[in-house]
Amino acid sequence: MPETTNSPVADQVPTPVEAVAAAAAPEQRDAPRSLWNDAWHDLRRKPVFYISSLLILFLIAISLWPSLITSTSPYACDLGKSQMGPANGHPFGFDTQGCDVYARTVYGARASVAVGIFTTLGATILGSVLGGLAGFYGGWWDAILSRISDIFFGIPILLGGVVFLSVIKGGSITTVVTFMVLLGWPQIARIARGAVITAKQQDYVQAARALGASSSRMLLRHIAPNALAPVIVVATIALGTYISLEATLSFLGVGLKPPTVSWGIDISQASTMIRNAPHMLLWPAGALSVTVLAFIMLGDAVRDALDPKLR
Amino acid sequence: MGRYVIRRLLQMIPVFVGSTFLIFVMVYALGDPVAALFGDRAPDPATAAQIRRDLYLDHPLWQQYTHYMAQIFQGNFGTAFTGQPVLQLMGSAWPLTIRLTIVAVIVEGVIGIILGIISGMRRGRSVDTGVLVLTLIVVSIPTFVSGYVLQFLFGVKWGVVNPSVSAAAPFNELILPGVVLALVSLAYVTRLTRTSIAENTRADYVRTAVAKGLPRRRVILRHLLRNSLIPVVTFIGTDVGALMGGAIVTERIFNIHGVGYQLYQGILRQNSPTVVGFVTILVIVFLVANLLVDLLYAVLDPRIRYA
């Protein structure tokens, strides 16, 4: 944001020379900094970037190996301990079924992180390929795609998710991801389409065209690297909102289903007991919020680094 | 302007048909409304066939859809499986949700814009950083979490408000649910206003206004704000549809029997006429809100002219 002063103009619109140089020899030391190098340089000096990245790495680590920080199984429950407060070795207390809230909170990270990452990957790949091609070729393909994404835009995402998932009755991570990708791609496609249309009109693309470059070469070498930035920004921020959406769907009983351990399910079950045992709700809710926060903070930092207009 | 409105209305038709058809297919074709009626028991084939005929389910899908839409445009939304006409359910549900949405829009508009102006005018100072951090945190807390936590704190622990809303749902009881519904959008409005204000404070027309010796108040209200609020108004306008859809969570937490509640019950019980009816209206609201926002553009920004 405002505190960054390095080369404020140079990265806005790379000149053809810069773009070609950056594309041809990205490692070359004394080459002018590309948008990506500049963004990386900018990110490295931001505490927010480090905090959120560390948090995300930690979350990914415990998603892969939850036993790193807990030795209790989330399924080892003792009804005799139902809703009891913290005890020795069980710092977060027990839920209604007598399961260890700490273990369930740790194991719950896996579902959220997996849904967030896979949905973002799916929606970004699908959206940027479809949107990018629509922006590049225009014509009837663009018209059809725009109308299709209009249709998905006509349905508020939470509403669509609830209706679709309640009919499918899946409850596995794959089902939830599939439907969230289906509802999420138009957002990315719109951004990608706009970015490609902007990039297409730049002089360096016209120059490439004049030199006889093929469509695929123009798309891959010249347009894609320059249209990618806005897509990545939107995708990183969307990752956080996808996690939040998954938890909301699971909370409403249409997203993930037991035996998958999910914060949304645990919060939903704890919500009826909030007067007697608020700890059952607060720990998974806190973990969920911190996870979403980590991804949104990262998205924010990436946006600041990649969008020179905001400086 | 008139031609633009007509063109936009025509463009809305395929989107409307597409969205409602999608929902219709999901609810009627992939689910089995007749089996849902019978719960766990297997329906008697003759009875099931009779119900299918009554519900027009024995026709091909596109005929079912056109039949349904034809009925809707005659004001007949069908009968919920509870025996109540869907229209009657809507009559009791919509006023509540509209009231809730009004509260939410006022909250996000007023508080969001004020916070955005404050932080945008003091960009880079501690107030600005504070507001930015606050919005980040607010965006990160899902509505159902903030809903339960605020309900627990204000309703149960401190006893400031009723934890659940009474059947009549007057405006004063809807303040807390409205705030909960608005929170995430509130953060977006704040950030949008802040960015917009910060960009425009450096604009030439603001410098001119200051140089003319206009009082600061007038510069901010008449010059800066009017130009900065255009994207904010767009966001709030398109957000109305999302707020009404998002009410599904808020209404469940605070036990408000509005659109979200009816829709949720309809989905749980596979009450297809209720679901499709409510969603159709929501889609129309969403599309009309988007159209109105585009038209409002021309009013707010005289540079934009629709031919």
DSSP string, B142-210: -HHHHHHHHIIIIIIIS-SS-SS--TT--GGGGHHHHHHHHHHHHHHHHHHHHHHHHHHTTSHHHHHHH
- Give A160's contacts in chain B (Cβ within 8 Å): 23
Res A309: pLDDT: 58
DSSP code per residue over B93-124: HHHHHHHHHHHHHHHHHHHHHHHHHHHHHTTT
Give the gap in angstroms from C-alpha A17 to the nearest C-alpha of chain B: 30
- Give A240's contacts in chain B (Cβ within 8 Å): 139-140
Q: What is the 3-state secondary structure (H, E, C) of chain A?
A: CCCCCCCCCCCCCCCHHHHHHHHHCCCCCCCCCCHHHHHHHHHCCCHHHHHHHHHHHHHHHHHHCHHHCCCCCCCCCCHHHCCCCCECCECCCECCCCCEHHHHHHHHHHHHHHHHHHHHHHHHHHHHHHHHHHHHHCHHHHHHHHHHHHHHHCCCHHHHHHHHHHHHCCCCHHHHHHHHHHHHHHHHHHHHHHHHHHHHCCHHHHHHHHCCCCHHHHHHHHHHHHHHHHHHHHHHHHHHHHHHHHHHHHHCCCCCCCCCCCHHHHHHHHHCCCCCCCHHHHHHHHHHHHHHHHHHHHHHHHHHHHCHHHC
What's the CA gap between A162 and B275, in Å, rounded?
11
SS3 call for B85: strand
- Give B252's contacts in chain A (Cβ within 8 Å): 252
Of the partner residues B16, B139, B145, the one whose CB lies closest to the CB of residue A154: B16
Nearest CA in chain A to B142: A244
Span A34-66+91-305 CATH architecture? Orthogonal Bundle (1.10)
CB B98 within 8 A of CB A255: no
CA dist list (Å): B30 to A177, A246, B55, B104, B280: 19, 22, 16, 35, 18
DSSP 3-state percent helix, strand, coil across chain B (nearest 5): 80, 0, 20
- Mean pLDDT over B84-104 rounds to 87
Of the partner residues B16, B142, B244, the one whose CB lies closest to the CB of residue A244: B142
Tell me: pLDDT of A119 over 90: yes
pLDDT top residue among B231 and B306: B231
- Give A265's contacts in chain B (Cβ within 8 Å): none
Give the gap in angstroms from C-alpha B159 to the nearest C-alpha of chain A: 12
Give the gap in angstroms from C-alpha A153 to the nearest C-alpha of chain B: 9
Q: Which residue has the tokens 């939903």?
A: A268
Res A17: pLDDT: 45
pLDDT top residue among A273 and B107: B107
A94 beta partners: A100
pLDDT top residue among A77 and A209: A209
Give exposure, B265-285, as e/b (b: 16+ Cβ within 10 Å): bbbebbbbbbbbbbbbbbbbb
**Structure tokens given for B105:** 């829009």
Tell if the CB–CB gap between A154 and B148 is shorter than 8 Å.
Answer: no
A99 C-beta neighbours (distance < 10 Å), count: 24
Tell me: pLDDT of B209 over 50: yes
* A240-266 residue pLDDT tens: 889 988 888 888 888 888 778 888 888
| A115 conformational bin, left if phi > 0, alpha if psi -120 to 50, beta if neither | alpha
Nearest CA in chain A to B148: A271
- Give B30's contacts in chain A (Cβ within 8 Å): 167-168
Residue A156 pLDDT grade (very low, low, confident, very high; cuts 50, 70, 90): confident
Tell if the CB–CB gap between B142 and A247 is shorter than 8 Å.
Answer: yes
User: Mean pLDDT score of chain A, rounded to an integer?
Assistant: 78
Instruction: Find residues 204-263 of chain B whose CB sits inside 8 Å of chain A.
Output: 241-242, 244-246, 248-249, 252-253, 263
pTM score: 0.82
**Structure tokens given for B188:** 């977006």
CA A115 to chain centre: 9
Q: Nearest CA to B142 among A114, A165, A213, A281?
A: A281
- Rounded to 5°, the CA angle B36-A252-B242 comes to 105
Tell me: pLDDT of A228 over 80: yes
Nearest CA in chain B to A2: B124
Instruction: Find residues 63-92 of chain B whose CB sits inside 8 Å of chain A.
Output: none
Does the beta carbon of B24 lie under 8 angstroms from any beta carbon of chain A?
no
Tell if the CB–CB gap between B246 and A293 is shorter than 8 Å.
Answer: no
CA dist list (Å): A284 to A100, A245, B128: 12, 15, 30
Best-predicted range by mean pLDDT (A20-24, A99-103, A153-157, B65-69):
B65-69
DSSP character at residue B27: I
Amino acid identity of residue B200, one-letter, is N
Give the gap in angstroms from C-alpha A76 to the nearest C-alpha of chain B: 26
A259 preceded by cis ω (within 30°)?
Answer: yes
Res A27: pLDDT: 47
Tell me: pLDDT of A25 over 70: no
What's the CA gap between B171 and B196, in Å, rounded?
32
Q: At what angle do helices B126-140 and B175-200 cross, to 10 degrees?
A: 130
Is the ipTM value over 0.90, yes or no?
Answer: no
A100 beta partners: A94
* B110-125 residue pLDDT tens: 999 999 998 988 887 8
Of the partner residues A148, A152, A159, the one whose CB lies closest to the CB of residue B245: A159
Q: Where are the domains of chain B?
A: 86-305
Task: Please state which of the four CATH numbers 1.10.1040.10, 3.30.2130.10, 3.30.9.10, 1.10.3720.10 is assigned to the domain occupying B86-305.
Answer: 1.10.3720.10
What's the CA gap between B142 and A204, in Å, rounded?
44
- Mean pLDDT over B13-26 rounds to 84
Best-predicted range by mean pLDDT (A185-194, A224-233, B22-31):
A185-194
Burial of A79 (0-12, 13-18, 19+ CB in 10 A): exposed
What's the CA gap between A244 and B278, in Å, rounded?
24
Tell if the CB–CB gap between A289 and B140 is shorter than 8 Å.
Answer: yes
Res A11: pLDDT: 41
- Mean pLDDT over A260-286 rounds to 81
Q: Where are the domains of chain A?
A: 34-66+91-305
Amino acid identity of residue B76, one-letter, is N
Burial of B294 (0-12, 13-18, 19+ CB in 10 A): middle
Give the gap in angstroms from C-alpha A24 to the nearest C-alpha of chain B: 35
**Structure tokens given for B216:** 């600061």
CB pairs under 8 A between A and B: 131
Tell me: pLDDT of A22 over 70: no
- Give B25's contacts in chain A (Cβ within 8 Å): none
- Mean pLDDT over B7-33 rounds to 80
What's the CA gap between A232 and A175, in Å, rounded?
24
Res B175: pLDDT: 87
DSSP character at residue B44: P
Residue A308 pLDDT grade (very low, low, confident, very high; cuts 50, 70, 90): low
- Mean pLDDT over B4-18 rounds to 83
CA dist list (Å): B277 to A155, B22, B266, B281: 14, 13, 10, 7
Q: Nearest CA to B225 among B238, B236, B237, B216?
A: B216
Res A194: pLDDT: 85
- Give A145's contacts in chain B (Cβ within 8 Å): none
Does the beta carbon of B144 lie under 8 angstroms from any beta carbon of chain A?
yes
DSSP character at residue B28: I
Best-predicted range by mean pLDDT (A86-95, A98-107, B127-136):
B127-136
Tell if the CB–CB gap between A248 and B143 is shorter than 8 Å.
Answer: yes
Q: Nearest CA to A156 among B221, B60, B168, B247?
A: B247
Of the partner residues B16, B143, B279, the one whose CB lies closest to the CB of residue A159: B279
Nearest CA in chain B to A270: B148
Res B307: pLDDT: 52
SS3 call for B79: strand
Torsion, Cα of B138, B139, B144, B149 (10° steps) = -10
Res B31: pLDDT: 65
Res B248: pLDDT: 86
Res B190: pLDDT: 92
- Give B19's contacts in chain A (Cβ within 8 Å): 151-152, 154-155
CB A236 within 8 A of CB A116: no
Tell me: pLDDT of A234 over 50: yes
Res B106: pLDDT: 93
